[in-house]
Structure 1
Amino acid sequence: MAPRKSGRRTNRPKRQPVRRILVVTEGTRTEPQYVEGLNRYLRSTGTTAVVKPVPVGRDPRTVVRKAIEVRDKAVKDEKGYDVCLCLVDVDEHETLSAACQLAARESILLLVSNLKFEAWLRWHVEDKRSPLSSSQLDELTTKLGLITKKILSPSFPFHAVHEACETARRADPDLEAGRIGPDPSSAMPILVDLMLGR
């Protein structure tokens, strides 16, 4: 008599390790809210990433320094991150080029939005690439129902993130981390790809 097979399946696919991503942001409200909301949305579609947003609220060089500090502490605590990146704006920051150099030396991905993060948010609802001033971007994102006083709308269209990525790539075909693209531009598709495990 042949031995009975147990009910267990032995050829199950192995679970992929969850990618841990550290995201340090210049903005203290909009960017962290966006990263957390996008992470929730992508998880609902089956993507698994542990994303830790750390709002700093200073100039780009300070944001990179904070990323180094948080990353190094996590390594010391044996909870290191697979990827560390910073979200910064061009705005009128004098330390942006120094931040790009520091990030490159420390292997931190610096994702720059030109003129600012609101350009990226805009592309979730419209494929328009005209340069706008900071105040015009604020007015437009409010008018489009995306933000109110730096608070992301509860009904923000995260489902349109793929269209936003396509628009960003058309706006800046040479899109990459650590580079200041044309106005408007955003390197946010890099974070989206990382969160999707690409």
Structure 2
Amino acid sequence: MVTEGTRTEPQYVEGLNSYLRSRGATAVVKSVPVGKDPMKVVLKGIEIRDRAASDEKDYDVCVCLVDVDRHEALPAACRLAARESILLLVSNLKFEVWLRWHVEDKHSALNTSQLDELTAKLGLVSRKVLAPNFPFHAVHRACEVARRADLELAAGRVGPDPSSAMPILVDLLLGR
């Protein structure tokens, strides 16, 4: 798991993995935050995957998380991820829309500041730090909302605003 975000996304993925593991799912998640460029995220995923393979420690799947934001490199990152068999999970406008769907079934498009304010108001995130009481138990609800928001939800695809391909990660963690 390689993430664009250096705080919120890694915290979420680790917390989600712990929550799902406690419910009987088994997965190993290695979160590697690399910063704001989706191409760098995919390249880091390739590097980690290839290094593991050369050490005979293959990963079952390589997943990268990125936001739409205003990245000019996103289309090229999507193409590279597809060529390299990497699951590139895109959130539009950004990851916080996925967090919102744990507590709200709303599809209104918000700008980045509005989304940050809303997730803080909802008690989900504060200054890019996930709330200690984040409602991981609502992940299945978030998946339902995400699937309704983007009927063509798929890895390596930029969905409508708002959307998130995070249900793909949830399915992977659950062994689906």
Band of TM-score, shorter chain: over 0.9
1:36 equivalent in structure 2 = 14
Instruction: State the 1:58 CA deviation.
Output: 2.7
Residue number in structure 1 paired with 2:30: 52
Matched, 1:112 2:90: yes
RMSD of Structure 2 on Structure 1 (CA): 0.4
The structure carrying a bigger helix percent of its residues is: 2
TM-score where L is the length of structure 1 = 0.88
Larger radius of gyration, structure 1 or 2?
A: 1
Unaligned runs of 5+ in 2: none
- Within-5 A mapping of 1:42-81: 42-81=20-59
Q: After the TM superposition, which residues 45-194 of structure 1 pair with which residues of structure 2 at under 5 Å, given as runs?
A: 45-194=23-172
Distance 2:75 2:101 in 1: 26
TM-superposed deviation, 1:136: 0.2
Q: In the aligned structure 2, how far is the partner of 1:61 from the partner of 1:101?
A: 10
4+ residue stretches of structure 1 with deviation over 4 A?
Answer: none
Length, aligned pairs only? 176
Alignment of 1:18-29 (within 5 A): 23-29=1-7
**Matched letter for residue 153 of structure 1:** A
How big is each residue's C-alpha offset from its partner over 1:147-184, in whole Å with a ceiling of 9 and x where there is no partner? 01000000000000000000000000100000000000
The one-letter amino acid of 1:145's match is G
Displacement of 1:35 = 0.2
More strand by share: 1
TM value normalised by structure 2: 0.99
Q: Quick one: distance in 1 between partners of 2:64 and 2:23? A: 25
